[in-house]
Amino acid sequence: MMNKVVLVTGANSGIGLALCERLLSQDTEGLQLCLACRNMRRAQAARSALLASHPTAQVALLQMDTSNIFSVISAAHEIKLRYCRLDYLYLNAGIMPNAQFDVKAFFKGIFSSNIITMFATGEGILTQKDGVTSDGLQDVFATNLFGHFLLIRELEPVLCRAGQTSQLIWTSSSNAQRSAFNLDDIQHQRGTQPYSSSKYASDLLSLALNTLYNKQDLYSSVICPGFVMTNLTYSILPSFPAFLWTVLMPVFWLIRIFTNTFTLTPYNGAEALFWLFKQKPESLDPQAKYHSLTSGLGNNYTQPRKMDIDLETSEAFYEKLLQLENEVRKKLKEKQPASQCLHSAGPRSS
Ligand SMILES: NC(=O)c1ccc[n+]([C@@H]2O[C@H](COP(=O)([O-])OP(=O)(O)OC[C@H]3O[C@@H](n4cnc5c(N)ncnc54)[C@H](OP(=O)(O)O)[C@@H]3O)[C@@H](O)[C@H]2O)c1
């Protein structure tokens, strides 16, 4: 029997790395784990840390920058050369660049009935300044969503195997808000909440993927890790001194009594990702987001909650992504010399 192949994007830190650790703690022998990371030095450090606690584990590395079209297509080509199957694809890499914390909205929220939701989702208090990638795409959209979409499209042959199920698992967020997403501006060029928009987009895409691919035994799910202290969260307040975060931690533990979404550690945040690994994908609800939750006493559990999405919008969004894919492939062909050109002719059009 071949080992199960699991690929995790953004695996070198935070929730992605914690997931890898948890997967190996459950089953060192039966897994081939591939860490797909943009920075090979950080990826190597993560691999060494995993092997230190699981010396016999099979942990491979793969260079991939999800914000770069050529990098994603090259990585997908490499995956198809290395593996003839892919059982789990964790779409976890993500950014929230140049985050701005709206202090006024925060204090307004504290004295409103929305206080718990504000703490649980970050709704209304976080905006970001987005950039543009070398491919001309909005950075947050490209990194969090579009690079992953292209990866799935490229990996169709190893993901869709008759009679053998494969799972796509997205690290979304409860910060995914319908109000931040616009079908006429899918990259969120005109707004100030590209992160929320990209996460809402992943919820929509997951639903569309289920509609399209379930008959080929490929299933997609989304999770929210809760509020976790990682590089991403620390970057929201970069000038905040480290000791202040330490001072704040007891406050966060206290908040957990009122909202179980304060999972705080990457280990806890990875709960739903790990839980999904053990589920039969056919039994999952494509309209639900699976939340990592931690009780006041520190017990972890996973809970599905209905997402604010609909089939019609998800299908319309998928069509827009296909159009954009055609455009970027065309541009890439024009840019690359023939010898370096796309390794594959691209996936079947849907
Ligand atoms: N922390 C939270 O409270 C929270 C809440 C909801 C959702 N999430 C989601 O959880 C996921 C993991 O984030 P985290 O909290 O664990 O933060 P993190 O420690 O910063 O992890 C993010 C990972 O994504 C990688 N990454 C970023 N840009 C990339 C790119 N262009 N190509 C490839 N990899 C890239 C990072 O690599 P580098 O080390 O090279 O930067 C890192 O490995 C993200 O999707 C995030 O949106 C987090």
pLDDT of 338 reads 57
The region of weakest confidence among 89-93, 212-216, 339-343 is 339-343
Tokens 């964790």 correspond to what residue? 90
Answer whether 287 contacts ligand 1 (Cβ < 6 A): no
Closest ligand 1 atom to residue 143 Cα is 31
Tell me what the mean pLDDT of segment 109-131 comes to: 80
Determine the distance separating the centroid of ligand 1 and the alpha carbon of 163, expressed in angstroms: 33
Q: Is 71 in the pocket of ligand 1 (CB under 6 A)?
A: no
As given in the structure block, the two tokens for residue 238 are 């970069």
Quick one: CA dihedral 233, 236, 239, 244, positive or negative? negative
pLDDT of residue 260: 92
Instruction: Assess whether the C-beta atom of 233 lies below 6 angstroms from ligand 1.
Output: yes
pTM (predicted TM-score): 0.94
Question: Diameter of the chain by CA atoms?
Answer: 62
- Give 257's pLDDT tier (boundaries 50, 70, 90): confident
What spacing in Å lies between the alpha carbon of 43 and ligand 1's midpoint? 13
Per-residue pLDDT tens for 322-350? 999 999 999 998 887 654 555 444 555 44
Question: What does the pLDDT look like over 182-201, one tens digit per residue?
Answer: 999 999 999 999 999 999 99
pLDDT digits (tens, 9 = 90+) for 312-327: 999 999 999 999 999 9
**Picking from 1-10, 262-271, 325-334, which range would have the lowest pLDDT averaged per residue?**
1-10
| Cβ burial, residue 41 (10 Å; 0-12/13-18/19+) | exposed
Tens-place pLDDT, residues 236-254? 877 777 778 888 888 888 8
One-letter amino acid identity for 206? S
Report all structural domains of the chain as residue ranges with CATH numbers, in order of start.
4-340 (3.40.50.720)
Q: What is the amino acid identity at position 323?
A: Q
How far is Cα 87 from Cα 81, in angstroms, rounded to an integer? Answer: 15
